[in-house]
Structure 1
Amino acid sequence: MSSLDAKINQHFPGVVVRKDLVKAVKGNAIVPSYVLEYLLGQYCATDDEATIETGISTVKEILAKHYVHRNEAGLIRSNIKEKGRYKVIDKVTVSLNDSRDVYEAEFENLGIKKVLVDSGTIKKHPKLLVGGVWCICDIEYDFSEDGQSTPWVLLSLKPIQLSSLDYDAYLEGRKQFTTSEWIDVLMQSIGLNPEAFGRRSKLIQLVRLIPFCERNYNLIELGPKGTGKSHVYSEFSPHGTLVSGGEATLAKLFINNTTGKIGLVGYWDVVAMDEFAGSGKKPDIKLIDTLKNYMANKSFNRGTGPQGAEASMVFIGNTSHNVPYMLKHEHLFMDLPETYRNSDGQAILDRLHCFLPGWEMDNLRNDMFSTGFGFVVDYLAEVLRSLRSYDFSDRYQDRFTLSSDISTRDRDGINKTFSGLMKILFPHGGETEEEVEEILRFSMEGRKRVKDQLMRVDSTYATVNFSYQSAGGENQQVTTLEEEEYPAYYHKKINDEDDVKDVDLAAPEGFAAVKSQPVASAPQVILEEKHITFQENQKGVSYELLFGPYLKDATKITITDPYIRLFYQIRNLMELLELIVKTKAEEDEISVHLVTSRDEFKGELQDESFEKMRSSADTVGINFTWEFDETGTIHARHIVTDTGWKISLDRGLDIFQHYEMNDVFAFANRLQKYRSSKAFEATFIRYGGNQ
């Protein structure tokens, strides 16, 4: 176990489980993770390996005996008949048969209907009436000659979810963890490996939990397929439901006027609409009108009087283009149905509190899933549900003040996202000013992305200054990441004439300035002293754009980086050597010297790799040498050239997030600009030298 795993088990005994156990017991059972973790929590909530092994066997036996597979439903029904009584795990939906004045249950996999349910069970578990609930049930077979009755009798029904919660114990446990540790605990709890994600990516993942702890929170996430956008809403909590966008009818979501039955928003904490995107879809205009009013006023009215509800709305959709394409040609909402982009639909978009950039997430890989310990998801779901009664939106107001230019609706969006993240990260308090500022900026960015794209859809929306002031009066501007990556496209109006010549010549913000020249001549690069900062997940970053102009014409280059040890770090160095080869004349020779630290365990790999690099570099005019710092005191990371430039790098050459190095068909493997960067800073200093 890692030290974090040990700490989780120490402070939250009995409510944590090793996350890879879900795969170990799932087999071919098509059930949500929270159902499996409920069972694992009963038998495997420990760090004792022997107990875990015994618990896994027990859970597997329970699933084998009692989980109903559709293709074995006939056998299970026969077992119930022959044994008289049998326990099953199935998804149960109940409806009122008003002609007989009784409640009747339908078992999804078992395939039996009209099973009588007493009113007390319905009062205790009203969600049975809408959407269905996974339950452990005792069923009896009692045949009768009466053709009107069913032989199936429901003896007991227990929804698979936590029966009690000690919230004070949760707060006490939280106090034992640093903020970084707690974020990693939550990442492992939702089944993700924190080591595969940077800080910003972790926050994006945790925003997906806000609808579970914040009432009437409106969230949209658009991005490529396969990034896990819907995973949390289908697997994480028994209090949320995921519906296909095509199945989200007015009657299903709000109220059926024929039966008077309240829809999903009346019973669930979170209603997530999957497959929301699709420019060819034509949603019902009445649904849009009702949805618009509900998102604004937390109530709906279909002629039976106003009905209030607390369900948060989540909209999930796939994008069909990359970000620069969308910004150049239309906007980031371009894949939504046209109905949501016209004057009526825009009102729904304007009521979104946060727009998550799903395009920043990589496709889920095996190494992204956690094998460590995390909360049993049902336990965390109950904690988040209990937090819905609190409001933490004022926790920044004694330290920071939002710009007066920000409207009430924009302010509400910022406050609700901020409140949700504070509940998730700091339910006990204790946050520092820096942590408050980080969450505030992130919350403002989520709402700014909504507003900026609305301004592109409809020019009548006024420009908003998304900024805030610290207690000292210092003004801080907030930008979105794509605004910094593609400034030429981001601020371009849809109906502007395309003028790509200047855009093609302009380097991304933060790189060496490029002075426009006539098309026939090459652009002239202007070298200057500067300090630049890059955000996590920023793309378009490469050694060529970052260093290339400053390495040109150098005959001697010294690289100081104590962390050229592991394979991916050595590969980074090789890619820098490739750049140096590209920038030099073929007939020139350049000396490149590396100062690094010797790895205590993989020193032989370093020696072998550096020797191969030296041999290969000799053939292309590079004299590559290296030395190991024996004192172990080097910490600074920089590149120094004999042309008078020193490039100081806080992360050295390690500026890229993990990518598939072995996938020769992945562009991120072949071209650096398609990789997501880590957060890092670079300072370019002119110190003299031979210029």
Structure 2
Amino acid sequence: MTPLDQKINTHFTGLVVRKDLVKTVKGNAIVPSYVLEYLLGQYCATSDEPTIQTGIETVKEILARHYVHRNEAGLVRSNIKEKGRYKVIDKISVDLNDKRDVYQAQFTNLGIKEVLVDSDTVKKHPKLLVGGVWCIADLEYEFTEDKSVSPWILSTLKPIQLSHFDFDRYVEARKQFTTDEWIDLVVQSIGFNPEKFGKRSKLTQLVRLIPFCERNYNLIELGPKGTGKSHLYSEFSPHGILISGGEVSVPKLFVNNSSGKVGLVGYWDCVAFDEFAGKQKRVDKALVDIMKNYMANKSFSRGVETLGAEASMVFVGNTQHTVPYMLKHADLFCELPDHFHDSAFLDRIHFYIPGWEVDIIRGEMFSSGYGFVVDYLAEILRSLRNHDYSDRYKDHFILSSDISTRDRDGINKTFSGLMKILFPQGGATKDEVEELLRFAIEGRKRVKDQLMRMDSTYHKVSFSYQGSDGQAKPVTTLEEEEHPGCYHKTIAEGEDGIVSVAAQPDVPQGPSTSLAAAEPVLKEKHLTFQENQKGLSFDTLLGPYLKGATTITITDPYIRLFYQVRNFMEFLETVVKHKAPDEEVSVHLVTTEDEFKGEQQKDCFEKMRESASSVGVNFTWEFDGTGTIHARHIVTDHGWKITMDRGLDLFQHYEMNDAFTFANRLQQYRPCKAFEVTFIKTGESD
């Protein structure tokens, strides 16, 4: 176990499980992760390996004997008949038969219905009435000649979710972890390996949890396929439900006026709409109008009566185009059906997760470390819905007066949700508060900026805040930094029906830190890049400053692991691209020798030396024997020094073994890490 895993087991004994066990026990069972982790939590919530192995076998046996596979439903029904009584794990839903004045259950996989359920059970577990609940149930079989009476009898029913927890213990244990450790613990609890994510990407994953801990939170995530957008809402919590966007209706979602039956928003903490995007989808305009009112006012009408509800709304869908294409030709909501591509509806969204920043899920991204049993974390998040942390930044920061009430609500709810997840015990530092506040502002700004493109009645807003020094600190979105030339546009439709895109007046075309706006004349400057920013390459960042140099010295202690050596090879490629064919350039590397793979490191350098010599680059290297070098910089003999706080290690992990991905072939398609670079004129020139 890692030191973090050991710490997790020490402070949350019996409440955590090794996350790779879910895959081990799942087999071909089509069942949510929280059901499997409920069972694992009963038998494998320990770090003792023999106990874990015994527990795995127990859980596998329980699933083999009691989980109902659809293709084996006949055999299970036969077992119940022959034995008289049998325990099953299945998804159960209940309906009221008003002709007979009884409640009747339907077992999804088992394929039986009209099973009598007593009123007390329904009152205790009302979610049985809407969408169904995974349960462990004891069924009995008693045949009768009366055809109106079902032979199936439900003797006991227990929903698969935690029955109780100690919130105070949770808060006390949280105090034993640093912020970074706690973030990694929550990321592992979701099922991901935190080492494969940067800080910004981890926060993005945490935003997906906010609908479970914040009442009436409206979230949208649009992005490429395969990034796990809907996974959390179907697998994570027994308090959330995922429905297909095409299966939504007013009676199902809100209320059936003829029967008076309240829909999903009355029973679930989070209602997520899968496959929400799609221009060709048909949408009921009446549904959109009711959703607008509910998302703004937390209420809906049933005839003359107005009802309130607390369900958060999540919309996830796939995009078909790249971000620059959408910004140039339309907006970041352009994939939505026409009735949802409505400024009044979209203005209710509190946060827009940029799904294009989220990596496509690969096997190596899943965690094998310890995390909370998910139904335990789900109960914690649910209990946090009773708290409000939205004012936790007001001792340090003030939002700009330019920010409207609706914008402010979105920012406050996102900030409150992140604070609940990360700092339930309080005690966040000023810098930590500021980081979450900026992230919350960015997510709401992404919504508002697109509304300004779609609807001319929305006016420019200064999304900024002030600290104790009174200085305004503006917030930008990452795509604004990457594509300033097409980000600040308005979309207008002319009389001929042709959509035109025009630059907004009085809006700067991107900050000076953007490469797209870099001056053609070389000058001293300092650039800051955000995590997940794309469009960056050694050619555009460093190439102009290397052109004309005959000697280049690069000092970087971390050219040791294979991916770091590959980065250096790409740096040499940039040198080659920017030198004249009839000139030669000397490149000298000062680094440190790898303690375990020094011979492999030397072999790589030797191969690069031989290859470089054939294209006019004289490559040499030396290992610093003192072990004290920490600087990362590039110095040229024609008067430039480039200091880089990460050296050449600018890019996040990408699939280097896949020759058919553009991130492998072209640096500008790789998300980068957060870093800073300074270009200094030294005056030394040959």
Q: Above 0.5 in TM-score?
A: yes
Match of 1:224 in 2: 224
The CA distance in 1 between the partners of 2:451 and 2:226, in whole Å, is: 27
* Alpha-carbon displacement from aligned partner over 1:554-596 (angstroms, at most 9, x marks no partner): 0000010000000000000000001111111112111000000
Q: Which amino acid aligns with 1:551?
A: L
Contact 1:573 1:653 in 2 (8 A): yes
1:543 maps to 538
CA gap of 1:132–1:304, structure 2 versus 1, over 3 A, is farther
2:13 equivalent in structure 1? 13
What's 1:330 paired with? 330
Q: Is the 8 A contact 1:33 1:236 kept in 2?
A: yes
Q: 1:589 aligns with which of 574, 584, 588?
A: 584
What per-residue deviation string (whole Å, max 9, x for no partner) do you get for residues 621-657 of structure 1?
A: 1110000011010001000000110000000000000
Query: What is the rounded CA distance, in whole Å, between the counterparts of 1:208 and 1:615 in structure 2?
Result: 50
2:165 aligns to what?
A: 165
1:402 aligned partner:
399
Cα 1:648–1:128 shift into 2, 3 Å: same
In the alignment, residue 685 of structure 1 is paired with which amino acid? I
Structure 1 match to 2:626: 631
State the match for 1:667 in structure 2. Answer: 662
Q: Which residue of 2 aligns with 1:519?
A: none
The answer to whether the 8 A contact 1:190-1:236 is kept is yes
2:441 is equivalent to residue 437 of structure 1: no
**Aligned equivalents of 1:296 and 1:497: distance in 2?**
30
1:406–1:514 distance in 2 versus 1, CA, 3 Å: closer
Residues 513 and 527, structure 2, Cα contact 8 Å, conserved in 1: no
SS at match of 1:273: strand
Q: CA deviation at 1:340?
A: 1.8
Q: Does 1:349 align with 2:346?
A: yes
For residue 471 of structure 1, give the secondary structure of its aligned residue in structure 2. coil
Matched positions, count: 674
Q: Which moved more, 1:252-261 or 1:443-452?
A: 252-261
Distance 2:593 2:517 in 1: 37
Query: Equivalences for 1:511-530 in 2 at 5 Å?
Result: 511=515, 525-530=520-525
Quote the residue 2:514 is aligned against. 510
Shift of 1:302: 3.1
Corresponding residue for residue 179 of structure 1: 179
The aligned counterpart of 2:496 is: none
Once the two structures are overlaid, the 10-residue window that deviates more, 599-608 or 87-96, is 599-608
Aligned to 1:118: 118
Deviation >6 Å, runs of 4+? 505-508
Q: How far apart are 1:19 and its partner, in Å?
A: 0.2
Return the alpha-carbon distance in structure 1 between the equivalents of residues 168 and 367 of structure 2.
27
**Residue 502 of structure 1: aligned partner:** none
Q: 1:613 to 1:266 in 2, by over 3 A?
A: same
Q: Select which of 470, 480, 485 maps to 1:488.
A: 485
Contact 1:513 1:526 in 2 (8 A): no
1:256-655 equivalence runs, <5 A: 256-341=256-341, 345-495=342-492, 509-511=513-515, 525-655=520-650
Aligned-partner SS, 1:62: helix
Question: Separation in 1 of the partners of 2:283 and 2:501?
Answer: 32
Q: 1:660, CA displacement in angstroms?
A: 0.5
In structure 1, distance between residues paired with 2:333 and 2:602: 51
2:522 and 2:564 mapped to 1: Cα distance?
A: 27
Other-structure match for 1:522? none
Question: Does the residue aligned with 2:679 lie in a helix, a strand or coil?
Answer: strand
C-alpha distance in structure 2 between counterparts of 1:304 and 1:199, whole Å: 49
**Cα distance change on mapping 1:408 and 1:498 into 2, 3 Å:** closer
Q: 3-state SS of the aligned residue for 1:681?
A: strand
Q: What residue ranges of structure 2 are gaps of 5+ in the alignment?
A: 493-499, 504-508
For residues 160-180 of structure 1, the C-alpha deviation after alignment (integer angstroms, 9 at most, x for no partner) is 000111000000110000000
* Aligned residue type for 1:557: I
**Partners of 2:434 and 2:510 in 1: how far apart?**
32
Distance 2:152 2:85 in 1: 10
Amino acid at match of 2:581: E
User: Can you give the 5+ residue segments of structure 1 that lack an aligned partner in the other structure?
Assistant: 500-504, 516-524
Stretch of structure 1 that moved more, 483-492 or 276-285: 276-285
C-alpha displacement of 1:206: 0.2
**Equivalent AA in structure 2 for residue 606 of structure 1:** Q
Tell me the distance in 2 between the aligned counterparts of 1:514 and 1:383. 48
- Counterparts of 2:327 and 2:515, CA distance in 1: 21
Q: Which whole-Å CA distance do the structure 1 matches of 2:515 and 2:339 have between them? A: 40
The one-letter code matched in structure 2 to 1:180 is D
Contact 2:490–2:502, Cα closer than 8 Å, also in 1: no
Shift of 1:199: 0.2
* Contact persistence 1:513–1:527 (CA under 8 A): no
TM-score by length of 1: 0.96
Q: CA deviation at 1:243?
A: 0.4
Q: 1:384 to 1:488 in 2, by over 3 A?
A: same
2:433 is paired with a residue whose SS is helix
| Contact 1:512–1:545, Cα closer than 8 Å, also in 2 | no
- Cα distance in 1 between the residues matched to 2:235 and 2:468: 42
Which residue is 2:495 aligned to? Answer: none
| 8 Å CA contact 2:481, 2:510 repeated in 1 | no
**Per-residue CA distance 1:522-561 (angstroms, 9 max, x = gap):** xxx2101011000000000000010000000000000100
CA contact (8 A) 2:92 2:108 kept: yes
Q: 2:673 aligns with which of 656, 675, 678?
A: 678
Distance 1:603-1:440 versus aligned 2 partners, 3 A rule = same
3-state SS of paired residue (1:301): strand
The residue identity in structure 1 corresponding to 2:354 is P
* 1:175–1:506 distance in 2 versus 1, CA, 3 Å: closer
| Conserved 8 A contact 2:130-2:263 | yes
* Deviation of the 1:398 alpha carbon: 1.1
Please tell me the residue identity of whatever aligns with 2:23.
K
Which residue does the alignment assign to 1:140?
Answer: 140
Tell me: CA distance 1:50–1:514, structure 2 relative to 1, closer, same or farther (3 Å).
Answer: closer
Percentage of identical aligned residues? 72
Within-5 A mapping of 1:193-212:
193-212=193-212
Structure 1 equivalent of residue 239 of structure 2: 239
Q: Deviations over 1:323-382 (max 9, x none)?
A: 0000000100000111122xxx32110011111101101110011110100000000000
Matched residue type, 2:266: G
Q: Alignment partner of 1:306: what SS?
A: strand
Partner Cα separation in structure 1 for residue 296 and residue 370 of structure 2:
39
Question: Given residue 444 of structure 2, which amino acid in structure 1 is its aligned partner?
Answer: R
Structure 2 match to 1:77? 77
Contact kept, 8 Å, 1:595 with 1:626, in 2: the verdict is yes
Q: Is the 8 A contact 1:37 1:377 kept in 2?
A: yes
Structure 1: how far apart are the matches of 2:577 and 2:445? Answer: 40
Report if the CA contact (8 A) 1:482-1:490 is conserved.
yes
Distance 1:235 1:320, change over 3 A: same
Q: How many Å apart are 1:494 and its aligned residue?
A: 2.3
SS at match of 2:92: strand
Q: 1:526 & 1:5 partners in 2: Cα distance?
A: 52
Distance 1:67 1:641 in 2: 68
Aligned: 1:22 with 2:17: no
Residue 510 of structure 1 and its aligned partner are, at CA, apart by 3.1
Q: What is the rounded CA distance, in whole Å, between the counterparts of 1:535 and 1:645 in structure 2?
A: 24
**CA distance in 2 between partners of 1:109 and 1:663 (Å):** 40
Verify the 8 A CA contact 1:512 1:527 in the aligned structure 2.
Answer: no
Query: Partner of 1:95: helix, strand, or coil?
Result: strand
**Aligned partner of residue 656 in structure 2, secondary structure:** coil
